[in-house]
Amino acid sequence: MSSAVSPAASEVLRQAARRRTFAVISHPDAGKSTITEALALHARAIGEAGAVHGKAGRRGVVSDWMAMERQRGISITSAALQFAYRDVVVNLLDTPGHADFSEDTYRVLTAVDCAVMLLDAAKGLEPQTLKLFQVCRQRRIPVITFINKWDRPGREPLALLDEIEKGTGLRATPVTWPVGIAGEFHALVDRRTDGTTAFRRAPGGATTATEEHLTATQAAARYGEDWRRAVEELELLALTGADHDQQQFLAATTTPVMFGAAVANIGVRQLLDILVDQAPAPQARPDTDGGQREIAAPFSGFVFKIQANMDPAHRDQIAFVRVCSGHFTRGMTLTHATTGRPFATKYAQQMFGQSRETIDDAYPGDVIGLVNATALGIGDTLYEEQAVRFPPLPAFAPEHFAVLRARDASKFKRFRRGVEQLDAEGVVQVLRSDRRGDQSPVLAAVGPMQFEVATQRLQTEFAVPTALEPLPYEIARRTDRDGEERLRTAAGVEVLTRARDGALLALFPNPWRMRAIANQHPDVTLEPLLADS
């Protein structure tokens, strides 16, 4: 075989090497919207597509996807912000802020190469962050930790490191270290260069903070006791070997830790530098045949997110595709791996928040939005030339269950089509059993608001009014045919089949019932599901 790489393939390799694709994981209120805006401020948004959505009235651009979203003032839409920083193209994949849509966030994490774990300095590692971190760990995604709100009173930095290590199992390797405690913060020491940068706050994060570089002597004279303590802590870090090691970071066993204040734009440039210098570029992606799709192979990508009705005036649906290999050019005809049918890409867009624009080119790591791609389901693969199929996206542990019925039996056909569509998009998980029949599937969700989205969409898009009857279950475990048979007569458990992947799920009303049944039936398989709490 010739080892010569074609000019087209070498351009793909070059472009992929300068891509960084990541998402921010955090507990609500830790500052995700703020840091997104601050990152974009430092960088040059490509194609002016930098309309970041934030809370109503604050940052101007609020997605108006559904009336529900507006009423609640939360953002459900999810897409990618692309910007250039130094010589790199950064793709920041947005994740819904509300925990009820964490299933969407989990799926976004299948499309990134790295995650930034954002913590509030006063709160440390919060439950939602930890849950999202577990998904990163399962995927072995390298995680960079950013401790935010250092301009406000918070915890001791060493105590925070301790909590991170205990909670995540990762070794914390600080890249920057604060001079001055949370709330009385003066400067950051860069442990890689030993340089000290003092910041003058920029109010409201509207502009980048002014930076001043100090020598150790200047810092000692200026900060006295605070400097002495920082030096002591830095010595401690050096003695315990808490140093960045690129191999261990990429193997997801350590996490570089940074301190800052997104609202004042402090530490944000340092975060971008770490992303560019240390975060991984896109790599070959494993396929279902046990092989992998090389970056320079012909185009391939998979759908990680489907968003319906982003534009109420058009009632459309967008499938977001993460590019895994090759060069995407708008208008190219791809193959949809699930059906084997050709798929035209005339309407490819790049979007974030409300703004959309037509995209002409994309490379590995980039995200493209395919408009009106109703044939595509969540996790589906698209490819050019050489066939490939990526593994289906994992389904996550649902904690809410309800029976869905059409209020009007004559609309059953539409009801069924609607339910199938919502399942394909991953809006909810659909569970079925012979006992309940097709007329009354069970909807399963990670957060109850997913149900509201499902029933609203059945009403508005399929004109089927439905009724939901909550079921008293809160835990699902994966079982098998044998388990289904044995649990058939047990009280307080029901086994259903998940439509999407045929998995058999045993549903229990509470952990005690589950344990009791597991004790009575020690041979029955009851496995936890992904991101189970």
Binding positions for ligand G4P, rule: CB under 6 A: 26, 28-34, 55, 58, 97, 148-149, 151-152, 261-263
Instruction: Locate 136 and state its tokens.
Output: 């990163």
Place of tokens 């250092």: 150
**Cβ within 8 Å of residue 53, ≥6 positions away:** 33, 59, 61, 62, 63, 75, 77, 94, 352, 353, 354
Nearest CA among 347, 317, 356, 320 for reference residue 63: 356
Tell me how far, at minimum, the Cβ of 97 lies from ligand G4P, in Å: 5
Tell me how far, at minimum, the Cβ of 193 lies from ligand G4P, in Å: 24
Tell me how far, at minimum, the Cβ of 267 lies from ligand G4P, in Å: 9
Q: Rounded to an integer, what distance in angstroms lies between the CA atom of residue 241 and that of residue 191?
A: 12
- 69: part of which helix (H) or strand (E)? helix 67-72
- With the C-alpha atoms ordered 393, 115, 160, 96, is the resulting torsion angle positive or negative? negative
Tell me how far, at minimum, the Cβ of 99 lies from ligand G4P, in Å: 11
The residue among 100 and 287 lying less far from ligand G4P, judged by its C-beta, is: 100
- Phi/psi of residue 411, each to 5°? -100, 25
The residue among 33 and 307 lying less far from ligand G4P, judged by its C-beta, is: 33
The residue among 29 and 243 lying less far from ligand G4P, judged by its C-beta, is: 29
Tell me how far, at minimum, the Cβ of 185 lies from ligand G4P, in Å: 10
Three-state SS for 492? coil
Residue of closest CB approach to ligand G4P: 31
Tell me how far, at minimum, the Cβ of 21 lies from ligand G4P, in Å: 20
The residue among 126 and 357 lying less far from ligand G4P, judged by its C-beta, is: 126
- With the C-alpha atoms ordered 20, 26, 28, 34, is the resulting torsion angle positive or negative? negative
- 216: part of which helix (H) or strand (E)? helix 216-239
The residue among 55 and 86 lying less far from ligand G4P, judged by its C-beta, is: 55
Tell me how far, at minimum, the Cβ of 120 lies from ligand G4P, in Å: 8
The residue among 263 and 348 lying less far from ligand G4P, judged by its C-beta, is: 263
Nearest CA among 98, 97, 147 for reference residue 119: 147
Tell me how far, at minimum, the Cβ of 266 lies from ligand G4P, in Å: 7
The residue among 96 and 483 lying less far from ligand G4P, judged by its C-beta, is: 96
- Phi/psi of residue 103, each to 5°? -60, -40
The residue among 26 and 91 lying less far from ligand G4P, judged by its C-beta, is: 26
- State the maximum Cα–Cα separation within the chain, in Å, rounded to a whole number: 82
Helix H segments across 352-464? 412-425, 449-462
Query: For residues 61 and 51, is the Cβ–Cβ distance under 8 A?
Result: yes
